[in-house]
């Protein structure tokens, strides 16, 4: 089922959580809403689910072209997975998953045998078939998460909405579940919207990512585009660490980006696009002094101070490059910037 949102706004006590959001998700897509806390991504998800009413006068929410703005949550055929999982504490895993089936109106309610079969199938899908009689309190965080997913899938939703589904889990479990979710999605292919504040998660899992800030969608594109071609400084900043240079030409002489020259601009460079050289062979390098070296597992973070204005620049080197150069603190080196992105300064973040 496709989801389309046209000009939706939401205000809480004068605080604009969503301002005129337009957004379309195609059938079978897995889309992430990515942004810092308070950017409105959860509100958007809840508006789609029908748990939050959009401001009066703002545009419709269309499921497959049908206006569902006035439909109740229970009628929208959505599967919602809560950040806190919201499992029913006093029910077994089986009863949790069966809840949606048992709650159907009497005429549509499947028979007990069908419910059993269906729940068994779902528990198989989330790899919890041996845990049916356990209670939520007896499960690990990752297992609870999968029960919540199975419970949401039981009603055969046409949309799956996940609110920070891995937020409360530790890093290893997150990574595993993320991969598992990707696989699950390719198996059941239900339209899915996932809310997250973790850019790595969003980029890895989704078909498309919507980066949100202050109630607006800043960019909505594929993960590659978002990373390589950020639409504005906010998106660039949000997707990883960066160096920021005021002025369009950070090294004074060499043009970095061939955009219209304007003195009032900002230029961003990722630390792994800062190249360190011993020699200034072509004269394009910026002289800098190494002030600190920190090891970060597979890479090395080098903190440098420019000779001309003492400004701090971060560089990330592979272990190989670092060893080849044989860098030490206080060494004088030259840096070159690759893949810089410049933006006009009047863009207000």
Partner 1 sequence: MAGAPHQNPTMGGTGKPAPPTHPLVRRVTIAVTVLFLSVFIVVPVVNVFSQALSKGFDAYASVFYAASPPEGAKLSPAERRKLSSDRSQAEKTWSSIRLTMGIAAVVVPLNIVFGLAAAWSVTKFRFKGRSLLITLIDLPFSVSPVIAGLIFVLLLGRSGVFGPWASNLTWPDPFSLHWRGFAQEWWPFAFTQSFTGIIFTPLAIALASIFVTFPFVARSLIPLMDSQGSDEEVAALSLGASGWRTFRTVTLPNVKWALLYGVILCTARVFGEFGAVSVVSGHTDANDTMPLRIEKLWNEYNNQAAFTVASLLALLAVVTLVVQVLVERKTGKAAMTEVEGVDMP
Partner 2 sequence: MTGNAVTEDRSPPRPPAGKLFSSPSRPSRLIPGLPLTLGYTLFYLSALVLIPLAGMVFKTTQLSWSEFWQTITDPIVMASFKLTFTASAIAAAVNGIFGLIVAWVLVREPFPGRRFFDALIDLPFALPTAVAGLTFSSLFLANGWIGGLGRHLADLVNWLAGLAGVGEIVSADALSWLSFPYSNTNTGIVLVLIFVGLPFVVRTVQPVLREWDTENEHAALSLGANSWTIFRRVIFPEIFPAWLSGVALAFARAIGEYGSVIFIAGNIPGKSQIAPLQIVIKLDDFRTAQATAIGIVLLFFSLLLLLGINGIEWWTRRREHRVA
> In which element (H, E) is residue 24 found?
strand 15-25
Stretch that binds partner 2, among 30-38, 105-113, 204-212, 318-326 (CB under 8 A): 30-38
Q: What DSSP element (H or E) covers 119?
A: helix 112-125
What residue ranges bind partner 1 (CB under 8 A)?
Answer: 49, 51, 72-75, 78-80, 82, 84, 86-90, 99-100, 103-104, 137-143, 146, 151-152, 154-155, 168-170, 173, 176-177
Q: How far is the CB of 246 from partner 2 (least distance, A)?
A: 4
Question: Which 288-317 residues touch partner 2, going by CB under 8 A?
Answer: 303, 306, 308-309, 311-314
Which lies closer to partner 2 via its Cβ, residue 29 or residue 218? 218
32: which residues sit within 8 A by CB, 6+ positions away?
193, 194, 195, 196, 201, 202, 205, 206, 208, 209, 210
Q: Is 309 helix (H, G, I), strand (E, B) or coil?
A: coil
Q: Which of partner 2, partner 1, none does residue 164 bind to, with CB < 5 to 8 Å depending on kind? A: none
Tell me the two tokens of residue 233.
Answer: 């400084």
Q: Any residues with CB less than 8 A from the CB of 260 and at least 6 apart, and which? A: none
For helices 141-154 and 171-188, angle between their N-to-C axes, nearest 10 degrees: 20
User: How distant is the alpha carbon of residue 310 from its chain centre?
Assistant: 35
Near partner 2 by CB under 8 A: residue from 20, 28, 52, 222: 52
Stretch that binds partner 2, among 6-14, 179-187, 221-229, 275-283 (CB under 8 A): 6-14
Neighbour tally for 305: CB within 10 Å: 15
Residues 171-190 that bind partner 2 (CB under 8 A): none
The encoded tokens of residue 163 equal: 């609110």
Selection from partner 2, partner 1, none that 170 binds (CB < 5 to 8 A by kind) is: partner 1
The pattern of x and - marking residues 236 through 255 that bind partner 2 according to CB under 8 A reads: -xx-xxxxxxxx-xxxx---
Task: State the Cα angle at 86 between 85 and 88, rounded to 5°.
Answer: 125
Binding-residue pattern over the window 79 to 98 for partner 2, x denoting contact by CB under 8 A: -----x--------------
Q: What are phi and psi of 290, to 5 degrees?
A: -75, 125
The residues that touch partner 2, with contacts defined as CB under 8 A, are 12-15, 17, 35-39, 42-43, 46, 50-53, 73, 84, 197, 213-214, 237-238, 240-247, 249-252, 263, 267, 303, 306, 308-309, 311-314, 349
């Amino acid at each position: 089922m496709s989801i389309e949102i046209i000009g939706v706004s939401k205000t809480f006590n004068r605080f604009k959580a969503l301002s005129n959001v337009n957004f379309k998700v195609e059938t079978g897509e897995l889309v992430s809403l990515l942004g810092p806390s308070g950017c409105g991504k959860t509100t958007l998800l809840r508006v789609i689910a029908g748990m939050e009413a959009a401001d009066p006068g703002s545009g419709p929410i269309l499921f497959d072209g049908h206006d569902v703005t006035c439909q109740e949550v229970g009628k929208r055929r959505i599967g919602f997975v809560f950040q806190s999982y919201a499992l029913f504490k006093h029910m077994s895993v089986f009863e949790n998953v069966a809840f949606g089936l048992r709650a159907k109106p009497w005429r549509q309610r499947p028979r007990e045998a069908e419910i059993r079969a269906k729940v068994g199938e779902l528990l198989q899908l989330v790899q919890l078939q041996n845990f049916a009689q356990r209670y939520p309190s007896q499960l690990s965080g990752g297992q609870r998460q999968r029960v919540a997913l199975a419970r949401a899938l039981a009603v055969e939703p046409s949309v799956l909405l996940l609110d920070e589904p891995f937020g409360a889990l530790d890093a290893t479990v997150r990574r595993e579940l993320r991969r598992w979710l990707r696989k699950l999605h390719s198996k059941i292919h239900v339209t899915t919207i996932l809310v997250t504040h973790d850019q790595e998660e969003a980029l890895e899992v989704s078909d498309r990512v919507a980066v949100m800030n202050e109630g607006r969608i800043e960019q909505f594109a594929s993960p590659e585009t978002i990373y390589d071609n950020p639409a504005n400084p906010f998106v660039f900043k949000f997707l990883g660490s960066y160096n920021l240079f005021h002025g369009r030409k950070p090294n004074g002489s060499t043009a970095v980006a061939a955009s219209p020259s304007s003195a009032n601009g900002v230029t961003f460079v990722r630390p792994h696009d800062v190249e360190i050289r011993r020699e200034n062979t072509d004269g394009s390098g910026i002289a800098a002094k190494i002030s600190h070296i920190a090891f970060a597992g597979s890479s090395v973070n080098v903190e440098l101070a420019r000779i001309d204005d003492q400004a701090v620049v971060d560089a990330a080197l592979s272990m190989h490059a670092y060893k080849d150069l044989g860098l030490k603190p206080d060494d004088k080196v030259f840096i070159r910037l690759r893949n810089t992105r410049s933006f006009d300064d009047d863009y207000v973040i």
